[in-house]
Structure 1
Amino acid sequence: MALLRGAGLSLRRWVGRAGVRLEKDFGDPAVTRVREAAEAGVRDGLAARPESADRAGMLGTVSEVAGVEEWIHRAIAAEPDSALPLLVAGARYVAWGWEARTGARAQQVSRAQFEVFHERLRRAETFLYEAAEREPDWVTPWQVLLTSGRGLEVGPVIAQRRFEAAVRRDPFHLRSHQQHLQQVCRKWGGSHEAMHAFARASMLKAPEGSLLGQLVALAHIEHWLDLDGEACARYMRGFDVVGSLREAADRSVLHADFEQGYGRVQVCNSFAMAFALAGDKEYARRCFDATGGVVSEFPWYYINGGNPVGAYRNYRSSVGA
């Protein structure tokens, strides 16, 4: 099944209808201000956020802004003792590297693309390690190093050490767990078994209501993406898969103590998509209701031609939500 990760699509061009809208900047005006500042060539606002999941989301948004790689070096020179410009530079060089690689399968990426990809990731790691040395309690340098390491194929041992470094600083850091899930999945040299085991173990270690229940839904979506033809539907509609999804939803998105704030919308959308694919209309409707009509780009951009809002609306209708 062809993937659409990072294939140069302008995903935000899709406009919601019938009470549906695409989430932008996590629905957070502070993130919008930081993004607009970055687009104007100014590093501003990140320091106002604590070193936490909230900063991870904001940093991810800034890393996707074209041109940050041009002015961030001036910010580093102007603040020689600060780790924050280094962190921004590292995150941007990782995202910029992936732009060169695109989201295509490895066999569809040219040698020249890989050379640019790896060069940018190596530069990113220099910035990130320096930021981590200056601020040893920060989790975000290690979170971004998980992504750069996967692209540089550092291998499972180093990847595991980086993940352990992240969770020592924040045991339930959503983005770090999402990135490590990618590391252990089959397409990056892991296996379906390792991926599902990691997802469920992470969910069970976290408090009930944690966002980490999303990992179970993402693991099943990744497994589904790795199949073709009728095998996709057979897999998602399997009794074990539906039971696994229900267990995870009950412990997270549908739990009375479900976390608020950064990542919540994406978690609700991930479960809505997974249950719709599984044909579990009852749980799908509950998860669609939990989204409040707000659509996250991920993971919907995997289907329906990369149109997240269109995919959301089609699948929501299919379950009668």
Structure 2
Amino acid sequence: MALLPPFIRASRTVASRRPRTAAPHPAPGPGLPADDEVLLDVPDDRLGPALVAAGQGTYETAAALLAGTVERAEWEHRDRYVTRLASFARSRPEWFEEWRAAAPHDPDALLVAAQLAVERAWDSPARAELLREVSPLVTAAAQADHRDPVPWRIALDHARGSNAGPKYFGELWAAAVRRAPHHYGCHVAAKRYLAESWHGSHRECFDFADRAAQDAPAGSLVQALPVRAVFAYLTDGCGPEVPRERLDAAADRAIGLSARFPGSDPWTAEIRNLLTYVLVRLGRRADALAQLRLIGPYATSFPWGRLSDDPLGHFLAVRENVCSQPSAEPAGHPRNGHGERAHPADH
């Protein structure tokens, strides 16, 4: 296998209910909401009003939301809000078009525009070519505010999709970590690039994720990076075997991160949903049940949407299975014939 690139050596829309096709189900177990109370991709209390206002055709609430994240240097929130607003603009573009017309040089509007352009190009069979065409948008977003790491996360995703070489990607990575050494989104983008550059290179991905988590503060979302590496390994079905103790260590690290946040918290819902999937695959059903109680009513598209066209239904089915077999014996090697395949670009 080729040597690792230098960069790894350095230290959906408003919440949706599941359609009701039958009478509401009772709660599946103590401390868990009923099936018809579980929501998908619930926005937090700040993003929710911005999405509602955008749905009504106005952009000012979204603009104020993103401006506040810069004032408070809330880069993780900024990244998440930009992604959700761009996704909303794909289906409801009027409010965003009005924003761009009113403030064409607004750094926040430029950032959403860059995210939106990358998302649109990503779904095309001519993805690499289209991504090269939107490079000026990504560059404009990066130049708009030199403190902000989020444009560099977009640039990392852009480079991965346009098949950039490791030298160029490494330069982008260095620029990103100078701005925010422990930014979760940039680390996820870097791990995805590594996974795609060397398909099946799970040990290298684990090495990168473990080093990043060890260097990050205890409450940083980067503590969840190793469990993302576990997800990629469990759903990929190729590459050398990773020792079971390493998979459990990554899950334990993510459990520790989850414990630092309150239960029924939309902010950590995606990490807890991902952790639940991993714990189920590892046969750790008691730990998975504990995470399900912390998740409460907040299902997320990731990881379930990588495994099914019905992410909410898949989550509920897994939850039901966990509740019906709380004392199941731990599984053997979790990849032996029972893997679920996810799209590799989503690792």
Correspondence 1:296 to 2:312:
no
Q: Corresponding residue for 1:43?
A: 59
1:57 is aligned, of 77, 80, 101, to 80
State the alpha-carbon separation in 2 of the partners of residues 201 and 241 from structure 1: 13
Q: Quick one: which of 237, 249, 252 aligns to 2:254?
A: 249
Q: Which residue of structure 2 lines up, in the alignment, with residue 152 of structure 1?
A: 162
> Normalized against structure 1, the TM-score is what?
0.77
| TM-score normalised according to structure 2 size | 0.72
Distance 1:94 1:36, change over 3 A: farther
Question: 1:224·1:235 contact (CA, 8 Å) conserved in 2?
Answer: no
Amino acid across the alignment from 2:275 = F
Q: Distance in 2 between matches of 1:205 and 1:55?
A: 22
Q: CA deviation at 1:202?
A: 1.2
1:273-288 alignment runs, 5 A limit: 273-288=277-292
Maintained 8 Å contact 1:146/1:179: yes
In our comparison, the structure showing a higher alpha carbon Rg is 2
TM-aligned CA deviation for residue 41 of structure 1: 5.1
Q: Is the 8 A contact 1:214 1:248 kept in 2?
A: yes
**Shift in CA distance, 15/168, structure 1 to aligned 2, threshold 3 Å:** farther
SS at match of 2:153: helix
> What residue identity is the alignment partner of 2:207?
A
Change (3 A) 1:39 1:119: farther
Paired-residue identity, %: 22
Aligned to 1:189: 198
**Distance in 1 of aligned mates of 2:226 and 2:95:** 39
**8 Å contact 1:41–1:67 — kept in the other structure?**
no
- Structure 1 residue 151: Cα displacement: 0.5
CA deviation map 1:49-71 (0-9, x unaligned):
31321121111012113256777
In the alignment, the residues of structure 1 paired with residue 175 and residue 263 of structure 2 have an alpha-carbon distance, to the nearest angstrom, of 24
Measure how far apart 1:271 and its partner are. 0.8
Give a deviation string over 1:207-255, Cα, whole Å, max 9, x none. Answer: 1233222211111111122117xx9xx969x63244323442354223x
- Higher helix proportion: 1
2:45 pairs with 1:34: no
Please give the alpha-carbon distance, in whole angstroms, between the structure 2 residues aligned to 1:162 and 1:259: 36
Structure 1 stretches of at least 4 aligned residues deviating more than 6 Å after TM superposition: 68-71, 257-262
Q: Tell me the amino acid that sits aligned with residue 99 of structure 1.
A: D
2:316 to 304, 313, 316: 313
The one-letter code sitting in structure 1 at the alignment partner of 2:82 is L
- Give, in angstroms, the shift of residue 307 of structure 1: 2.1
Q: Mind listing any 5+ residue stretches in structure 1 that lack a counterpart?
A: 1-10, 101-112
Over aligned residue pairs, what C-alpha RMSD do you find? 3.1
Counting only pairs closer than 5 Å after superposition, residues 1-321 of structure 1 correspond to structure 2 as 14-15=18-19, 18=27, 19=33, 20=35, 21-26=38-43, 28-39=44-55, 42-44=58-60, 45-48=62-65, 49-51=68-70, 52-65=75-88, 66=90, 72=96, 75-100=99-124, 113-114=125-126, 117-185=127-195, 187-189=196-198, 191-227=201-237, 239-254=244-259, 256=260, 263-303=267-307, 305-320=308-323
Letter matched to residue 205 of structure 1? D
**Distance (Å, rounded) in 2 between the aligned partners of 1:72 and 1:285:** 41
User: 2 CA distance for matches of 1:250 and 1:269?
Assistant: 11
Cα deviation for residue 195 of structure 1 reads: 0.9
Unaligned runs of 5+ residues in structure 2 are 1-14, 28-32, 327-347
